[in-house]
Chains A and B, each alone.
Chain A
């Protein structure tokens, strides 16, 4: 460690963030103290990431923050842009979402830590490589110094990113959705690491929509809704006895607490495959796999990342050809009645088209009526003002509901949901599944879902297929 400066507290009071004359985040106040981390929970679109950017001083252009953010007496909002920039990495560090995208893919991890010591602190090359090794050992990556990011798991990449922030000497760590896209085992590893940060005297602000992460981190928990902090208090109190309605809904939205869904008996098979084999290069993904999905049935495929779950669904849709095996779909069905939902909702939409354009083109192509689309929008809780936005300007939960709406307009018989809710907050996840289960019941839709969350699969699915 490079003579670490440890701060006592980071106090945020009366924070408001506005875009021009519209206030989009207001009345946010909390204190990060030594040994008492703060976790902000909330739906996507609740403003929790904006709070992190306000502290960091990296709000997108056009947005401005008012109020007071004090780090041991120094007002962070009052500084010049140059002072703000000087703090990045050295005083406050943000742990990126999906760190495997933030690390340099062409550089060994030791080098990425080493360069911080060398260029930022001006150590000689021998000294900085010793320090880099110590930093990596400190986060449990001893022996993996020469690995490239793609050779490491998601959790290891997250730890490598933490080692970089240690090298920079940052004492305030903001973790923005640190466990997004990780399965349960990896998630616990990251949480444990974050707790060690707190023990070492760093101030920690975590932004997450995972209640288990909030419970494990302890300290203080805040719940955000529509740009306001609606509940704030010690973790046990907020998570056990939430007072605000939304906080209650958020905590009740964990899949284990969902009511059992009653579904009618399944009908005939819409798509079935037998003897499927697929390999990528040398590595076999699966061999002699058989699967069928019937009308009005939910089938889940679970397994760790990289085991070929998505490939099975793509083979059933005809997007990928199997190496061996047969796929049989109900004869006489239009190809558009087999649809897919994507893991990352914005990726499934044309980036430069507004939702009005893409929906309009779809309705025109299939000769459908606007009124029907608008009726579904109302039913799915999607406001009309969303139509004039581009996919990147809409929150993930809303966009995924929009994707379901789009698919359901074509009256599908088979829907493949590829980790459709893994990037959504619990409340959005619950909303999305409520819509999906309703569609399965009303339209005898066959739903194939892929997930890494066993609890979710057990609650929702009729049948579970384990892979890997």
Chain B
């Protein structure tokens, strides 16, 4: 649309809440409810064993059945969801905050600071992310700290690079020059001009980073270098239950389905509207 006749066209407000976002947010809400209130409602210890109920099918005494040690699947899934979700959230927050701040700083100041940051991020980018996590995990296997640190160290680079490039593009535009001439300071320009323009892309990036973190945590636990049993971690649960696939296939699938739903919810909730 040419701007020539812009004033004639009535303004339309595009709704922020598209159907796909609504579905994603609803799904995430349900999962959060399950993760937070599940343990309260069931009030069963996820590590309490009851060998009489080993591999009990869903619907018996246990709503979603019990695993090979007779532990409640419902309780373990709720704890697992809470763990995955919480860890992913913490990891992404730790990666996003410095990543975005450094990106803004590099775009704003330029010069040697930009070159140093660029070098550091390129070096880290050249290291395979998984390798970094494995090296750190070698110091303290099976604990949360190194896993979290390693993931955050690989994830911040994306936030830094995207912020740096997009903010740099915005800062070159004439309206930034005009705003500065009108007497506005740096904080106003970053807060009101740059941030609103880079927010949509950062939200999408956060969702991708969360998905990456959830899947990475589960994957590492599944190959027994992340969190170890008996921690109710979704990836570790799959591996623990795998030998009993023939007797109880549904039990093996349940943690996988939960991971799938978490990632799907995140992607739907942050999907940009396709015009």
Contacts and interface: CB of A to CB of B under 8 A. Distances in A.
A24 B5 CA distance: 10
A22 B7 CA distance: 13
B12 interface: yes
A335 interface: yes
A60 B174 contact: no
B192 to A, nearest CB: 7
Contact of B11 (A60, A349, A389, A395): A389
A45 B182 contact: no
A44 B5 CA distance: 6
B41 interface: no
A62 B93 CA distance: 40
Contacts of A125: none
Contact of B9 (A63, A342, A362, A396): A63
Contacts of A97: 2
Contacts of A62: 9, 12
The 5 closest A-B pairs by CB, nearest first: A336-B183, A45-B7, A395-B7, A348-B178, A60-B1
Interface of A: 19-20, 22, 24-25, 44-50, 53, 60, 62-63, 97, 176-177, 227, 317, 319, 334-336, 338-340, 342, 344, 346-353, 361-362, 365-366, 386, 388-390, 392-396, 398, 406-407, 410
Contact of A24 (B9, B175, B181, B183): B9
Interface string B9-28: 11110000000000000000
A392 B188 CA distance: 22
B184 interface: yes
A389 to B, nearest CB: 6
B11 A393 contact: yes
Contacts of A22: 10
Contact of A398 (B5, B7, B12, B197): B7
A347 B9 contact: no
Interface string B169-208: 0000111011101111000100011001100000000000
B7 A348 contact: no
B9 A410 contact: no
Given A45-B5, A46-B5, A176-B2, A350 B179 contact: yes
A287 B253 CA distance: 76
B3 interface: yes
B101 to A, nearest CB: 22
Contacts of A336: 181-183
A361 B192 CA distance: 10
Given A342-B174, A350-B179, A366-B183, A393 B2 contact: no
A335 to B, nearest CB: 7
A457 B197 CA distance: 38
Given A342-B178, A361-B188, A365-B182, 19 more contacts: A24-B9, A44-B5, A44-B7, A47-B5, A227-B8, A319-B181, A338-B181, A340-B177, A348-B174, A351-B197, A353-B192, A365-B188, A366-B183, A386-B7, A389-B7, A390-B11, A393-B7, A393-B9, A407-B182
A319 B4 contact: no
B10 A20 contact: yes
Nearest to A354: B11
Given A342-B178, A352-B197, A48 B4 contact: yes
Contacts of A338: 181
A371 B9 CA distance: 28
Contacts of B184: 361-362, 365
B126 interface: no
DSSP majority for the B interface? helix
B274 interface: no
Interface string B93-106: 00000000000000
A213 B182 CA distance: 37
A335 B174 CA distance: 18
Contacts of A317: 181
A50 B5 contact: yes
Contacts of A410: 182-183
Contact of B6 (A176, A388, A395): A395
A407 B9 CA distance: 27
DSSP majority for the A interface? mixed
A118 B139 CA distance: 63
Contacts of A390: 11
A162 B56 CA distance: 76
A404 to B, nearest CB: 12
B182 A49 contact: no
Contact of A395 (B5, B10, B183): B5
Contact of A350 (B8, B9, B175): B175
A177 B5 CA distance: 13
B12 A350 contact: no
B182 A346 contact: no
Contact of B4 (A63, A361, A395, A407): A395
Nearest to B1: A60
B81 to A, nearest CB: 36
Given A60-B1, A319-B177, A346-B3, A406 B8 contact: no
Nearest to A50: B5
Contacts of B1: 53, 60
A392 B9 CA distance: 11
Contacts of B174: 342, 344, 347-348
A99 B74 CA distance: 64
Contacts of A19: 9-10
Contacts of B5: 44-50, 395
A339 B181 contact: yes
Contacts of B183: 334-336, 365-366, 410
B4 A396 contact: yes
Contacts of A342: 174, 178
B197 A45 contact: no
Q: Which of A20, A389, A398 has the most CB of B within 10 A?
A: A389
7 contacts: A62-B12, A349-B175, A352-B197, A365-B184, A390-B11, A396-B3, A410-B182
Contact of B178 (A340, A395, A396): A340
B181 A340 contact: yes
A275 to B, nearest CB: 25
A340 B5 CA distance: 25
Nearest to A334: B183
A205 to B, nearest CB: 15
Nearest to A97: B2
A394 B175 contact: no
A389 B3 CA distance: 13
B8 A347 contact: no
A348 B6 CA distance: 16
Nearest to A344: B174
Contact of A388 (B4, B11, B182, B196): B11
A173 to B, nearest CB: 17
